Amino acid sequence: MNILWLGHGSFRIEIEDQVILIDPWLTGNPMIEEAQYDAALAGVTQILVTHGHGDHTGDLDMVSKRTQAPMAGIYELMGWFAEKGIGNTTGFGKGGTISCGKVAVSMVPASHSSSVATDSGPVYMGSETGFILKGEGHVIYFSGDTGIMADMDWIGDYYKPDIGILSAGGHFTMGMAETAYAAKRYFDFRTVIPCHYRTFPLLEQDAAALAKGLPGVDVIEPQVMQAITL
């Protein structure tokens, strides 16, 4: 399995028979260069979307057209994109599971907000979410944008993820110290990969506090388009 960070909250995960993009935001993302777009989008089989904010959905029209990959996310958000003629969409809900080839994808709660920008202002789009991905003997918890929440207790207990891809930049989501607290209290991760950080000066710039708070856990600071092989 290869996990590649595209910058910010965007990832490419090569797992089983799938190449899954989660929240692919490329244009306007200062972490990834235009010359890297083709490699980021090559061979994509599925797009997953955690919530409606533009730094997670702003490129869905372009990405879906270039990859021809279906996209899935919470029902209301997928319905909105379907009405706009954007993408081949599947809407499902928290607690639900879909099959993406050999990979099982379950939707779990997050604690944030979800809207899309329109000419008339923001339109709220169902709930913000995270995902559980199961494949190749691993269970990945992709937190999406979130603060600490009690739901992490049952998510950790029920799914028992060994890999956490966790928002950790602060201001809009958990910061590094909060992410370390949540990971230690609610989960038994072997590997933690922080995200939603370094993109802008407003966000945290390194994961030192996260690594310090999780002794014995492999905390990997991702580099854009450099594969983390697990």
Give the residue-averaged pLDDT of 159-186.
Answer: 98
Containing domain of residue 200, as a range? Answer: 2-229
Per-residue pLDDT at 155: 98
State how far the alpha carbon of 187 is from the alpha carbons of 62, 92, 107, 152, 195, in Å: 36, 25, 17, 8, 17
Q: Which of these ranges, 2-16, 43-57, 62-76, 111-125, has the smallest mean pLDDT?
A: 111-125
pLDDT per residue as tens digits for the range 16-27: 999 999 999 999
Judged by phi (left if over 0) then psi (alpha if -120 to 50, else beta), residue 83 lies in: alpha
d(CA 144, CA 138): 18
CATH number at residue 145: 3.60.15.10
DSSP state of 224: B
Q: Which of these ranges, 80-84, 93-97, 116-120, 174-178, has the smallest mean pLDDT?
A: 116-120
Count of structural domains, the chain = 1
pLDDT at 125 over 90: no
Kindly report the pTM of this predicted structure: 0.97
Q: Is 193 helix (H, G, I), strand (E, B) or coil?
A: strand
Beta bridge partner(s), residue 98: 105
